[in-house]
């Protein structure tokens, strides 16, 4: 048991728990453990030859040995003494062998800490490998080795991996955070810093894993989420399914702390308003004043972006969206989840179980949500018992005046089920329906009485118990039923049922004055043979009869009390003593006996028959705690809505949104919005989802060393192919997609900025559009239709009369962007169709080169200081440190002219804006250690900041 | 999240264990065994079991329990869904998911489990990615591996994980480019004694087998998409286009996958394609019961009803049966009281029937529960809902693929219930007669 004791020593996280496990282990209770240890001794010899095989020089023998060892591990047998022999192979060239060694290492490193350290250097080397997958796998294994001594090494590796260019490696580092945290919680603060950094990551690959790490390490640091909230909402659709579950549950918690309740009285929300909120700030303010409750646009964003996930094939995703809607959506919107939840009932049995539990909780509060789907909850004979019981629960919750007769008819079939536990549960359900819906109380009661003549013992017993409860609630004349039950009494053997009948007779003994003493007589005869609960009720019955009808029952009562006095059960002895003191008057009896009648025959409140799921809603739906109805370890309470919404601006991202939107990443063209993300909900206003994708794509392509991964990452969802055409004077020109052939019904269009003066009007930017017919028929009358804004000054191309299949044509247009990067929207029309398209220029395209001398440049620059100067120091990528490539990068970003310079380290560029002709002067001064100072002088300060950003991005990366 | 996994067979032995964090003693499974003992049927073991320090979440498939050990709060469906994904992967790799197959391939199983979870959080669950990482074993490859010492582990590191189309591997090449789609529908119905339908629903799926070179972009459109009441998609399907145009647009994974599951609601009332005439009676005081069952086709648009299987759980009082099927074979298990009749194909000219007598326990009173009858069948080349694929188009690649679409209807379950036809008012009447 060496393994277990080391476990106790080094497992900081749960020392107590490990100790418990040691206890369990040392007294093996399961036959499996015993067998495992028994076999181990016979395997001892075998392990000797495994050691030899591992030490041989043949790769195949080593592999064979490792396979057998993995077999041993899988069976739960101990193979730890092979550790030295195995660990030598950690640097093997054979991938499978290496992987199997990793499996072994992760399993036993904790027990063989010193030897495990031998392998660390191999991983440290692999962490620097040019291949991202090797880096990732090294980090995976390194972080899985639970040896406290390497904590600093792990910390370093995680920090480095978190800034890796490959999103896959960054994802691995997010996983490693959790591993390190469980190994050494002392590192929390440093790990939070890494989490903070990774939360800013825009890759869909990383998002799920880092949120998982956040939930594990610092779920209370909700402030880290603010700035990333919108990004997470927008990325959500493209995150892998497991990550979606984690993010959705975190955002549910987040939203409950940040937004005000949408459930307030008089809360109205008009779907049509939501667009307006996004459009303009003023409008929003107007509405805040006009209405009592207005949903925060961020709150709406979350609801809107999660809704499509209801269509996921992953049941966990669907459930998490359902719980999000349940906890966050306005009441009238919650029902959108119903259909999807009902769909999950077609899934595996275990899935049904969890979903039914959640529906059971929901259906208590919101009958209407599931009532139309009532038939989906009908029980099938092949359902497992726990599924049947849950369906019954839901049907009972759904019962109302309108559907009760259908439900009762269904219940009648269930009572006949061969599954007796289920039949009994059905009887209880009938009882609940009877109490909840007063119209059917009598019918149910009568039906239950009918069941008393059932041949099955459990059915009868359950009926008696339920009838007892019902009668108690219905203090009207029911002596017929009581009489009938008294008659059945001799045949009923289930003690609970017998006790119930006795209680009933005692309680209503005045209504059945003839039968009650007779029943007591019978009980006196059989008293000693009865179960304890029956004895207790017999004593009760005797006492009540003594008080109401002492003439007939005095002797019987005394006899029973005497029997009870010497009973083996102390409870019964106590009760007997108490009753005797209370009812039989003697000299010692105090004031209490005067009240005996009032004590024993007091009117008793009727029991409330309610759902077992009544209080489940204290737990968040879909959680383990909800499923078990116990607070599970690590369960995070969902907070109540704040009365006043915390500051909404915390979620604003510093950089002005439009700047980000058009920022082109080098090497990647920017397709128009509607085609950009096929898989995302991009139709409406979106802030920053685009550049999230772009960023991750470009970084992965830079990093991957193998050519295959290069090609894979360039195949984005956008299907846009980047065409680089070299125009010597102006540098490369990028072509952008205007219309995809799938949206355009065969017609596709691309555009680029030729960077030539526009022929039509000097204040227009020239745009060349290439139209291609990808369909199998010719397209006619291609022209430009409506434009927006209507005031947009646009020079159209002449109508193209006819475009044959596979043919393409390039036309020129002129657009006056008025020196703003706002997109020019217009319609591209054919004879039959109209397609809305938009051209969004990068800021660099709004300039024209301006030629001037160095002297003039400095003079002009002198006039544009102070407010008109924007500058930043940037770190140059290695490739851009030469002056030639620096100029090339600047020219590729902006359409400016080079100003010849006398200083070697200073580059100057000059341009004018196309529309207003304002001067734009760019200076790049390269400094030591590959940094550079970028300065832009112009009175168009918004353009300057945008341009600076573009240049920064272009120069900082290869 | 998921701490450890134990595989338990029908006789309650742990035959495989895997830990993703520190090792959890297998004695934790004792709590599971307790629950297993308490359950009357294997299916009745609760999927979530709390123990003092852990939580056990299990699924039962192919008579194997997959028991996951959890240490703290996690959505139970997350674990359940993952475990089912594990089973699907095993099935995909080994053809079957049995104890023997898992034991034979224990190394591949271990390698798969290692890739599927990292620190208990799912890492690679897409079959396309896994197959690049670890090649599925075939008889040929096993032989070659033994002789040459080569391995099942892919030499190339996978690229799919990094691509923006994570479900599709890159560099796919085929000489014959084919895309097959199977529209399979299951009817799920409850019919009462008199033959009227209590509930009827259609669950459909479109399973695809796509073997196309490169990065094809497919669109599939339906003649009558409005029929689909509720749908769930493979992650490859573009939701926006479905919302806007009711067209399935997607870049398919390579190989077999489930493109779409859908539901046709009971509002579009479904005609059940078979009918059953039955007469099962027990007489009071006699030790004989009569059994008479006839099946017939109904509204099948001329398509044959095949692979018909009837099963019924007879009451406990039935000792044995003496029945005579007009076609097919029948069996009766006197222990479980399960009657199964493998009918085969229904010939509309000569309807299949099963007639005869049942012997009851002597002296026992007439069984008061009535048996339910379950029917399963298949109809080829017909989707019972009437769903029709309109066309399939491919973009993004130049070649012309071969396209095939197949329809099939199955009865998931038609369940004829001996419903008491008396309404609640009759209940009252019966009660009055008591006195």
Peptide bond into B15 cis (omega under 30): no
Q: Is the pTM of this model over 0.80?
A: no
Say how far apart CA A135 and CA A261 lie, in whole Å. Answer: 46
Say how far apart CA A331 and CA A264 lie, in whole Å. Answer: 10
Say how far apart CA B414 and CA B187 lie, in whole Å. Answer: 7
Q: Which residue does chain B place closest to A101, by CA atoms? A: B111
Q: Which residue does chain B place closest to A211, by CA atoms? A: B121
| A358: confidence class by pLDDT, cuts 50, 70, 90 | very high
Cross-chain Cβ contact A30/B81 below 8 Å: no
| Architecture in CATH of B178-270+382-433 | Sandwich (2.60)
Task: Say if A439 falls within a structural domain.
Answer: no
Cross-chain Cβ contact A24/B231 below 8 Å: no
Say how far apart CA A349 and CA B349 lie, in whole Å. Answer: 40
Chain B residues with CB-CB distance to A138 below 8 A: none
Q: Is the separation of the CB atoms in A24 and A4 below 8 Å?
A: no
- A409–B contact, CB cutoff 8 A: yes
Kindly state the helix (H) or strand (E) to which residue B66 belongs, with its residue range: strand B64-70
Confidence check: pLDDT of A291 > 50: yes
Chain B residues with CB-CB distance to A349 below 8 A: 43, 47, 60
CB-nearest partner of A74 from B16, B25, B316: B16
- A675–B contact, CB cutoff 8 A: no
Cross-chain Cβ contact A679/B74 below 8 Å: no
- A77–B contact, CB cutoff 8 A: no
Total domains in the fold of chain A = 3
Tokens of A273: 């308003």
Q: Is the separation of the CB atoms in A940 and A922 below 8 Å?
A: no
What pLDDT score does B409 carry?
79
Cross-chain Cβ contact B27/A376 below 8 Å: no
Same domain? For A789 and A928 the reply is no
Chain A residues with CB-CB distance to B84 below 8 A: 348, 350-351
Place of tokens 């036309």: A811
CB-nearest partner of B27 from A30, A131, A715: A30
Chain B residues with CB-CB distance to A717 below 8 A: 164-165
A851-856: long-range pairs with CB below 8 Å, 24+: A851/A897, A851/A899, A851/A910, A852/A899, A852/A910, A853/A899, A853/A900, A854/A899, A854/A900, A854/A901, A854/A902, A854/A908
Same domain? For A759 and A818 the reply is yes
Q: Which residue does chain B place closest to A404, by CA atoms? A: B424
Closest Cα of chain A to B183: distance in Å?
A: 17
Residues, chain B, total? Answer: 435
CB-nearest partner of B55 from A144, A624, A682: A624
Question: Are B178-270+382-433 and B274-380 the same fold in CATH?
Answer: yes
Q: Which of residues 476-505 of A touch B (CB under 8 A)?
A: 480, 484
| Each residue's pLDDT tens digit, A502-518 | 888 888 888 888 888 88
Please give the backbone phi and psi of residue A483, each rounded to the nearest 5 degrees, phi first: -60, -45
CATH number at residue A84: 1.25.10.10
Please give the backbone phi and psi of residue A665, each rounded to the nearest 5 degrees, phi first: -95, 135
Cross-chain Cβ contact B17/A76 below 8 Å: yes
| Each residue's pLDDT tens digit, A819-852 | 887 888 888 888 888 888 888 888 888 888 887 8
Closest Cα of chain A to B381: distance in Å?
A: 23
Cross-chain Cβ contact B199/A319 below 8 Å: no
ipTM of the complex: 0.87
Say how far apart CA A907 and CA B12 lie, in whole Å. Answer: 78
Please give the backbone phi and psi of residue B283, each rounded to the nearest 5 degrees, phi first: -100, 145
Tokens of A292: 């009592």
Chain A residues with CB-CB distance to B61 below 8 A: 348
Tokens of B304: 């044959």
Confidence check: pLDDT of A37 > 60: no
Cross-chain Cβ contact A450/B430 below 8 Å: yes
| Each residue's pLDDT tens digit, A389-428 | 999 999 999 998 888 888 888 888 888 777 788 888 898 8
Percentages (nearest 5) of helix, strand, coil residues in chain A: 60, 10, 30
Tokens of A905: 């380290």
Closest Cα of chain B to A902: distance in Å?
A: 47
Task: Say if A82 falls within a structural domain.
Answer: yes
Cross-chain Cβ contact A683/B240 below 8 Å: yes
- A173–B contact, CB cutoff 8 A: no
Domain boundaries, chain B: 2-148, 178-270+382-433, 274-380
Of chain B, the end-to-end C-alpha distance in Å amounts to: 62
Same domain? For A789 and A923 the reply is no
DSSP helix/strand/coil, B370: coil
Crossing angle, helix A151-162 and helix A132-144, to 10 degrees? 150
Identify the residue among B78, B112, B122, B433 best suited for mutation to test binding to A, counting A beta carbons within 10 A and taking the highest: B78
Cross-chain Cβ contact B75/A245 below 8 Å: yes
* pLDDT tens, residue order, chain B (435 aa): 899 999 999 888 999 999 998 888 889 999 999 999 888 888 889 999 999 989 999 999 999 999 999 998 999 999 999 999 999 999 988 888 899 999 988 989 998 998 899 888 998 888 877 887 787 776 655 666 555 555 555 555 555 455 667 788 777 888 888 889 988 888 877 777 777 777 778 888 899 988 888 888 999 998 888 888 888 888 888 888 888 888 999 999 888 888 998 888 766 556 777 888 888 777 766 777 888 888 888 766 777 888 888 888 787 778 888 888 888 888 888 888 888 889 888 888 888 888 888 888 776 666 655 677 888 888 888 788 888 888 888 888 888 888 888 888 776 556 665 433 322 333 333 333 332
Chain A residues with CB-CB distance to B59 below 8 A: 348, 350
Cross-chain Cβ contact B417/A413 below 8 Å: yes
Of A860, A953, A847, nearest to A897 by C-alpha is A847
Out of A797, A826, A841, pick the residue that ends a domain: A841
Beta bridge partners of B264: B202
Q: What is the DSSP letter of B364?
A: P
Q: Where are the alpha helices (DSSP H) in A474-584?
A: 479-488, 495-507, 515-526, 532-548, 550-565, 570-583
Same domain? For A211 and A65 the reply is yes
Q: Is the separation of the CB atoms in B322 and B356 below 8 Å?
A: yes
Cross-chain Cβ contact A450/B149 below 8 Å: no
Task: Say if A551 falls within a structural domain.
Answer: no
Beta bridge partners of A874: A932
Task: Say if A446 falls within a structural domain.
Answer: no
Q: Where are the alpha helices (DSSP H) in A371-514?
A: 385-398, 404-415, 420-436, 441-451, 457-473, 479-488, 495-507
Q: Is the separation of the CB atoms in A508 and A479 below 8 Å?
A: yes
CB-nearest partner of A212 from B121, B125, B424: B121
Out of A216, A237, A258, pick the residue that ends a domain: A258
Say how far apart CA A52 and CA A54 lie, in whole Å. Answer: 5
Chain B residues with CB-CB distance to A697 below 8 A: 164
Please give the backbone phi and psi of residue B263, each rounded to the nearest 5 degrees, phi first: -135, 130
Cross-chain Cβ contact B55/A132 below 8 Å: no
Identify the residue among A27, A116, A240, A350 best suited for mutation to test binding to B, counting B beta carbons within 10 A and taking the highest: A350
CA B340 to mean position of chain CA atoms: 20
Cross-chain Cβ contact B77/A354 below 8 Å: yes
Of B185, B388, B189, nearest to B272 by C-alpha is B189
In sequence order, which residues have a C-beta less than 8 Å from that of residue B301 and are 6 or more positions away? B382
| Each residue's pLDDT tens digit, A603-627 | 777 777 777 788 888 899 999 999 9
Give me the total of CB pairs closer than 8 Å, taking one residue from chain A and one from chain B. Answer: 353
Q: Is the separation of the CB atoms in B431 and A478 below 8 Å?
A: no
Cross-chain Cβ contact B230/A339 below 8 Å: yes
Chain A residues with CB-CB distance to B107 below 8 A: 67, 70-71, 100
Q: Which residue does chain A place closest to B41, by CA atoms? A: A384
DSSP-derived secondary structure for A361-386 = HHHHH-HHHHGGGGGGG---TTS-HH
Closest Cα of chain A to B349: distance in Å?
A: 32
Same domain? For A799 and A829 the reply is yes
Beta bridge partners of B408: B184, B380
Biggest CA pair distance of chain A: 129
A333 class by beta-carbon count within 10 Å (0-12 exposed, 13-18 middle, 19+ buried): middle
Say how far apart CA A202 and CA A88 lie, in whole Å. Answer: 40
In sequence order, which residues have a C-beta less than 8 Å from that of residue B334 and are 6 or more positions away? B319, B320
Place of tokens 């089973």: B87
Q: Which of residues 711-740 of A touch B (CB under 8 A)?
A: 711-713, 715-717, 719
Same domain? For A253 and A147 the reply is yes
Identify the residue among B46, B75, B263 best suited for mutation to test binding to A, counting A beta carbons within 10 A and taking the highest: B75
Confidence check: pLDDT of A102 > 80: yes
Identify the residue among B51, B81, B395 best suited for mutation to test binding to A, counting A beta carbons within 10 A and taking the highest: B81
Report CA-CA distances (Å) from A228 to A225, A246, A281, A288, B262: 5, 15, 21, 25, 35
CATH number at residue A771: 2.60.40.1150
Question: Which domain does A754 fall in, by range?
Answer: 735-841
- A140–B contact, CB cutoff 8 A: yes
Q: Is the separation of the CB atoms in B280 and B371 below 8 Å?
A: yes
Among A17-21, A297-301, B167-171, whose mean pLDDT is lowest? A17-21
A608 class by beta-carbon count within 10 Å (0-12 exposed, 13-18 middle, 19+ buried): exposed
In percent, how much of chain A has pLDDT > 70? Answer: 82
What pLDDT score does A287 carry?
45
What pLDDT score does A609 carry?
72
Beta pairing, strands B402-417 & B178-192: parallel
CATH of domain B274-380: 2.60.40.1170
Chain A residues with CB-CB distance to B73 below 8 A: 623-625, 632-636
Report CA-CA distances (Å) from A393 to A356, A388, A432, A629, B48: 9, 9, 10, 16, 19
Q: Which residue does chain B place closest to A716, by CA atoms? A: B164
Task: Say if A213 falls within a structural domain.
Answer: yes
Closest Cα of chain A to B119: distance in Å?
A: 7
CATH of B2-148, one of 3.40.50.1580, 3.40.50.12500, 3.30.450.60, 3.90.1150.10: 3.30.450.60
Out of A822, A841, A860, pick the residue that ends a domain: A841
Report CA-CA distances (Å) from A285 to A291, A302, A304, B74, B336: 10, 21, 22, 40, 71
CB-nearest partner of A632 from B22, B24, B55: B55
CB-nearest partner of A679 from B15, B40, B238: B238
């Amino acid at each position: 048991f060496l393994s277990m004791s080391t476990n106790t020593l080094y497992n900081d996280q749960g020392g107590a728990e490990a100790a418990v496990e040691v206890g369990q282990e040392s007294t093996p209770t399961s036959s499996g453990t015993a067998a495992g240890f028994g076999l181990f001794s016979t395997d001892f010899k075998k392990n000797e030859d495994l050691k030899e095989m591992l030490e041989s020089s043949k790769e195949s023998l080593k592999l064979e040995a490792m396979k057998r060892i993995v077999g041993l591990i899988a069976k739960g047998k101990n193979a730890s003494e092979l550790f030295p022999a195995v660990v030598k192979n950690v640097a093997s060239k054979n991938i499978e062998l290496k992987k199997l060694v990793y499996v072994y290492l992760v399993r036993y490193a904790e027990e063989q800490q010193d030897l495990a350290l031998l392998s660390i250097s191999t991983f440290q080397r692999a962490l620097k490998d040019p291949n991202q997958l090797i880096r990732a796998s090294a980090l995976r294994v390194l972080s899985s080795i639970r040896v406290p001594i390497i904590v600093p090494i792990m910390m370093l590796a995680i920090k480095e991996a978190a800034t890796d260019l490959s999103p896959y490696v960054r994802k691995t580092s997010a996983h490693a955070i959790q591993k390190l945290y469980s190994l050494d919680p002392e590192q929390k603060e440093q790990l939070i810093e890494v989490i903070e950094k990774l939360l800013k990551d825009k890759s869909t690959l990383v998002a799920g894993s880092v949120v998982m790490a956040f939930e594990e390490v610092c779920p209370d640091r909700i402030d880290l989420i603010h700035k990333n909230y919108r990004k997470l909402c927008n990325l959500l659709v493209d995150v892998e399914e497991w990550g979606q579950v984690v993010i959705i549950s975190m955002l549910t918690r987040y939203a409950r702390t940040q937004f005000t309740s949408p459930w307030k009285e008089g809360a109205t929300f008009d779907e049509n308003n939501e667009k307006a909120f996004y459009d303009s700030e003023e409008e929003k303010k107007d509405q805040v004043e006009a209405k009592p409750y207005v949903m925060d646009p961020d709150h709406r964003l979350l609801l809107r972006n999660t809704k499509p996930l209801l269509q996921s094939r992953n049941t966990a995703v669907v459930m998490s969206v359902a719980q999000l809607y349940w906890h966050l959506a306005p009441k009238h919107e919650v029902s959108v989840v119903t259909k999807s939840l009902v769909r999950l009932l077609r899934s595996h049995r275990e899935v049904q179980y969890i979903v039914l539990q959640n529906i059971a909780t929901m259906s208590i509060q919101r009958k209407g949500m599931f009532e139309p789907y009532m038939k989906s909850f009908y029980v099938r004979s092949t359902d497992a018992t726990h599924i049947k019981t849950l369906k019954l629960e839901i049907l009972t919750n759904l019962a109302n005046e309108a559907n009760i007769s259908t439900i009762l008819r269904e219940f009648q079939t269930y009572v006949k089920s061969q599954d007796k536990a289920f039949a009994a549960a059905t009887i209880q359900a009938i009882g609940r329906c009877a109490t909840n819906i007063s119209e059917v109380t009598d019918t149910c009661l009568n039906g239950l009485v009918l069941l008393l003549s059932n041949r099955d013992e459990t059915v009868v017993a359950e009926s008696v118990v339920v009838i007892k409860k019902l009668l108690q609630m219905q203090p009207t004349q029911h002596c017929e039923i009581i009489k009938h039950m008294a008659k059945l009494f001799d045949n009923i053997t289930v003690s609970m049922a017998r006790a119930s009948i006795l209680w009933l007779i005692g309680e209503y003994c005045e209504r059945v004055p003839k039968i009650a003493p007779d029943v007591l007589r019978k009980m006196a005869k059989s008293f000693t043979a009865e179960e304890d609960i029956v004895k207790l009720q017999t004593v009760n019955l005797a006492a009540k009869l003594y008080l109401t009808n002492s003439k007939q029952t005095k002797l019987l009562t005394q006899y029973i009390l005497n029997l009870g006095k010497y009973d083996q059960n102390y409870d019964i002895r106590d009760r007997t003593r108490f009753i005797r003191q209370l009812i039989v008057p003697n000299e010692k009896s105090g004031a209490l006996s005067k009240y005996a009648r009032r004590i024993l025959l007091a009117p008793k409140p009727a029991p409330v028959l309610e759902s077992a799921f009544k209080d489940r809603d204290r737990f968040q739906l879909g959680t383990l705690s909800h499923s078990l109805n116990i607070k599970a370890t690590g369960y995070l309470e969902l907070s109540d809505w704040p009365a006043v919404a915390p500051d909404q601006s915390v979620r604003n991202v510093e950089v002005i949104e439009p700047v980000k939107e058009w920022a082109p990443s080098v090497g990647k063209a920017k397709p128009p919005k509607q085609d950009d993300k096929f898989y995302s909900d991009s139709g409406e206003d979106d802030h920053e989802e685009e550049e999230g994708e772009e960023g991750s794509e470009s970084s992965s392509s830079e990093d991957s060393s193998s050519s295959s991964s290069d090609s894979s990452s360039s195949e984005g969802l956008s299907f846009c192919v980047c065409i680089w055409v070299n125009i010597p004077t102006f540098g490369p020109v990028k072509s952008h997609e205007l219309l995809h052939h799938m949206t355009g019904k065969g017609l596709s269009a691309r555009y680029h900025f030729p960077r030539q003066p526009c022929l039509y009007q000097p204040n227009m930017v020239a745009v060349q559009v290439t139209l291609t017919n990808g369909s199998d028929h010719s397209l006619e009358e291609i022209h430009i239709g409506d434009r927006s804004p209507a005031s947009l000054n646009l020079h159209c191309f002449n109508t193209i009369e006819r475009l044959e299949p596979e043919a393409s044509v390039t036309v020129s247009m002129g657009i006056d962007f008025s020196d703003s990067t706002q997109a020019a929207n217009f319609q591209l029309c054919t004879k039959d169709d109209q397609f809305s398209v938009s051209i969004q220029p990068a800021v660099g395209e709004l300039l024209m080169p301006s030629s001037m001398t160095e002297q003039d440049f400095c003079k002009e620059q002198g006039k544009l200081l102070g407010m008109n100067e924007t500058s930043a120091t940037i770190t140059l990528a290695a490739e851009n440190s030469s002056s030639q490539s620096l100029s090339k990068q600047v020219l590729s970003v902006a359409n400016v002219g080079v100003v010849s310079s006398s200083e070697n380290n200073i580059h100057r560029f000059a341009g004018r804006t196309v529309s207003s002709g304002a001067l734009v002067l760019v200076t790049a001064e390269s400094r030591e250690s590959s940094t550079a100072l970028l300065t832009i002088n112009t009175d168009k300060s918004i353009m300057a900041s945008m341009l600076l950003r573009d240049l920064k991005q272009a120069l900082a990366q290869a | 999240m998921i701490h450890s996994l134990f595989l338990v067979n029908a006789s309650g032995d742990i035959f495989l264990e895997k830990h993703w964090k520190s090792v959890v003693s297998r004695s934790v499974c004792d709590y599971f065994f307790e629950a297993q003992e308490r359950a009357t049927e294997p299916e009745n073991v609760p999927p979530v079991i709390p123990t003092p320090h852990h939580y056990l979440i299990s699924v039962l498939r192919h008579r194997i329990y997959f028991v996951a050990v959890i240490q703290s709060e996690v959505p139970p469906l997350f674990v359940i869904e993952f475990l089912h994904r594990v089973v699907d992967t095993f099935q995909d790799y080994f053809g079957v998911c049995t104890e023997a197959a898992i034991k034979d391939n224990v190394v591949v199983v271990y390698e798969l489990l290692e890739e599927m979870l990292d620190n208990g959080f799912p890492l690679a669950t897409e079959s396309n990615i896994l197959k690049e990482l670890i090649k599925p074993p075939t008889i040929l490859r096993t032989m070659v591996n033994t002789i040459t010492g080569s391995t099942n582990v892919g030499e190339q590191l996978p690229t799919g994980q990094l691509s923006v189309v994570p479900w599709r591997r890159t560099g796919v090449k085929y000489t014959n480019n084919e895309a097959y789609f199977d529209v399979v529908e299951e009817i799920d119905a409850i019919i009462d004694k008199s033959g009227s339908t209590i509930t009827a629903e259609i669950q459909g799926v479109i399973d695809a087998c796509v073997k196309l070179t490169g990065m094809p972009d497919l669109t599939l459109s339906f003649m009558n998409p409005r029929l689909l009441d509720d749908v769930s998609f493979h992650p490859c399907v573009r939701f926006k286009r479905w919302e806007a145009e009711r067209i399935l647009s997607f870049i398919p994974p390579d190989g077999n996958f489930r493109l779409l599951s859908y539901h046709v609601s009971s509002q579009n009332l479904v005609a059940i394609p078979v009918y059953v005439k039955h007469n099962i009676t027990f007489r009071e005081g006699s030790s004989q019961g009569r059994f008479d069952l006839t099946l017939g086709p109904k509204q099948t648009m001329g398509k044959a009803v095949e692979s018909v299987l009837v099963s019924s759980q007879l009451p406990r009082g039935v000792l044995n049966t003496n029945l005579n099927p007009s076609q097919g074979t029948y069996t009766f298990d006197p222990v479980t009281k399960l009657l199964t009749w493998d009918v085969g194909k229904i010939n509309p000219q000569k309807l299949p029937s099963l007639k005869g007598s049942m012997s009851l326990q002597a002296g026992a009173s007439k069984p008061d529960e009535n048996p339910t009858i379950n029917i399963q069948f298949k109809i080829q080349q017909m989707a019972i809902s009437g769903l029709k694929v309109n066309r399939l188009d491919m973009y993004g690649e130049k070649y012309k693929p071969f396209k095939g679409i197949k329809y099939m209807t199955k009865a998931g379950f038609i369940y004829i219930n001996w419903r008491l036809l008396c309404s609640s008012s009759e209940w009252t009447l019966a009660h009055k007669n008591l006195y």
